[in-house]
């Protein structure tokens, strides 16, 4: 495996040995005294502790007794005999990473983090110690912007692998159950073979169409701006995303997607998000249409804003505020 670039990314299937590889990388960096201040970032605080530090493939388990760090969970800190220190962080609490400085970082499963881009940016902005700060990211792929950007980055070295590469180290029961269940399925392509899947089958808007329709900027004046909300029925971890799209219609009849704010959000979260977008884009309402097909927790939300509705902006020219995220023509 190459560790000479500033970013190494291991994109591999479940049970490939991603976490073990990340832990071994940290161990090697510390033992060779290449780094002294390390960020360990997992999806949650519990994952950082249970997987990256204390797990079977984690740092404590793979360290030699004479070089094993002391772990202080209350301080989220590992301290090695040679003075190197690692601190654990949670990708779902990106502000934790605002401020601390490091000379190396190991990010486990960034594709699963709740705020992947924000947490990653904060992590990267703090990577400013030492002559050659480095990151290792170990993840099963998901089609998120952060992963696509990292894989495309010329500074990234990507190592790929599948679950099958690590069969000798996996329990026979796992092989029987999981591989037989998922092999040949779409989920299996992602979880076992680490394929970055392009489109959901039957998707109306394929990635190919979206990429081909991107524009460098949208018109400064749009005659109608819409904040469209498609609420998920529930708001648990396994729920669908609530779709929140800001779109505008130009005088020439072209429609532009100004921002995609979709996410796995609570009713309170998506309602606030939609109301913020509504005010930011000045999508003054002229019509509201309740989406009444599904009765769910969203109907108990009262924010005084357009919760659970589709708001359509007035058909008058309006300036598009700066800072719209995606610039796409559909």
Ligand X SMILES: Nc1ncnc2c1ncn2[C@@H]1O[C@H](COP(=O)(O)OP(=O)(O)OP(=O)(O)O)[C@@H](O)[C@H]1O
**Which residues on adjacent β-strands are paired with residue 41?**
89, 107
**Residue 117 CB, nearest distance to ligand X (Å)?**
21
Q: What count of residues does the chain have?
A: 330
- Contact track, ligand X, 14-43, x by CB under 6 A: xxxxxxx-----------------------
166 binds, among ligand X, Mg ion, none (CB under 5 to 8 A by kind): ligand X
- Contacting residue, 87, 122, 140, 273, with ligand X by CB under 6 A: 140
122 binds, among ligand X, Mg ion, none (CB under 5 to 8 A by kind): none
**Residue 24 CB, nearest distance to ligand X (Å)?**
8
Residues 6+ apart with CB under 8 A from 28: 3, 34
**Residue 106 CB, nearest distance to ligand X (Å)?**
12
Nearer to ligand X among residue 25 and residue 218 (C-beta): 25
Nearer to Mg ion among residue 39 and residue 245 (C-beta): 39
**Residue 19 CB, nearest distance to Mg ion (Å)?**
3
Nearer to ligand X among residue 79 and residue 166 (C-beta): 166
DSSP string, 255-272: EEEEEE--BS--HHHHHH
296 binds, among Mg ion, ligand X, none (CB under 5 to 8 A by kind): none
List the interface residues with Mg ion, window 186-215 (CB under 5 A).
none
CB-side neighbour CA atoms (13 Å) of 270: 30
d(CA 194, CA 295): 37
Distance of CA 174 to the CA centre of its chain: 27
d(CA 182, CA 18): 19
Query: What's the CA angle centered on 222, arms 226 and 288, to 5 degrees?
Result: 25
Q: Which of these segments, 9-17, 111-119, 152-160, 285-293, binds ligand X (CB under 6 A)?
A: 9-17
Q: Which of these segments, 8-16, 67-75, 212-220, 286-294, binds ligand X (CB under 6 A)?
A: 8-16
- Contact track, Mg ion, 14-53, x by CB under 5 A: ----xx----------------------------------
- 101 lines the binding site for ligand X (CB under 6 A): no
Burial-class residue 109 by CB neighbours within 10 Å (0-12, 13-18, 19+): buried
**Residue 192 CB, nearest distance to ligand X (Å)?**
10
CB-side neighbour CA atoms (13 Å) of 230: 8
Nearer to Mg ion among residue 19 and residue 163 (C-beta): 19
**Residue 16 CB, nearest distance to ligand X (Å)?**
4
Output the CA torsion sign for 23, 24, 28, 29: negative
Burial-class residue 272 by CB neighbours within 10 Å (0-12, 13-18, 19+): middle
Distance of CA 188 to the CA centre of its chain: 20
Q: Provide the binding-site residues for ligand X, judged by CB under 6 A.
A: 12, 14-20, 56-57, 140, 166, 169-170
């Amino acid at each position: 495996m190459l560790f000479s670039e500033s970013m190494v990314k291991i994109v591999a299937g479940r049970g490939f040995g991603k976490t073990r590889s990340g832990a071994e990388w940290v161990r090697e960096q510390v033992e060779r005294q290449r780094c002294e201040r390390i960020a360990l970032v997992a999806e949650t605080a519990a994952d950082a502790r249970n997987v990256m530090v204390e797990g079977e493939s984690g740092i404590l388990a793979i360290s030699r007794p004479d070089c094993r760090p002391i772990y202080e969970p209350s301080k989220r800190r590992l301290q090695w005999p040679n003075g190197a220190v690692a601190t654990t962080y949670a990708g779902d609490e990106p502000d934790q990473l605002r401020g601390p400085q490091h000379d190396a970082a190991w990010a486990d499963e960034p594709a699963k983090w709740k705020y992947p881009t924000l947490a990653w940016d904060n992590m990267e902005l703090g990577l400013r110690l030492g002559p050659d700060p480095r990151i290792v990211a170990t993840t099963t792929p998901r089609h998120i912007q952060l992963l696509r950007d990292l894989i495309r980055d010329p500074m990234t070295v990507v190592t790929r692998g599948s679950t099958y590469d690590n069969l000798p180290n996996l329990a026979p029961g796992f092989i029987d159950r999981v591989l037989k269940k998922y092999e040949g399925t779409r989920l299996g392509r992602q979880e076992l073979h680490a394929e970055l899947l392009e489109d959901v089958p039957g998707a109306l808007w394929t990635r190919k169409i979206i990429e081909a329709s991107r524009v460098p900027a949208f018109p400064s004046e749009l005659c109608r701006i819409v904040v469209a909300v498609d609420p998920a029925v529930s708001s648990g971890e396994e729920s669908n995303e609530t779709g929140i799209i800001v779109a505008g219609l130009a005088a020439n009849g072209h429609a532009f997607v100004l921002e995609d704010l979709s996410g796995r959000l609570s009713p309170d979260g998506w309602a606030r998000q939609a109301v913020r977008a509504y005010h930011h884009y000045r999508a003054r309402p002229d019509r509201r249409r309740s989406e009444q097909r599904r009765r769910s927790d969203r109907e108990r939300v009262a924010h005084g804003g357009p919760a659970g509705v589709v708001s359509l902006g007035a058909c008058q020219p309006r300036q598009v505020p700066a800072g719209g995220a995606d610039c796409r023509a559909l």
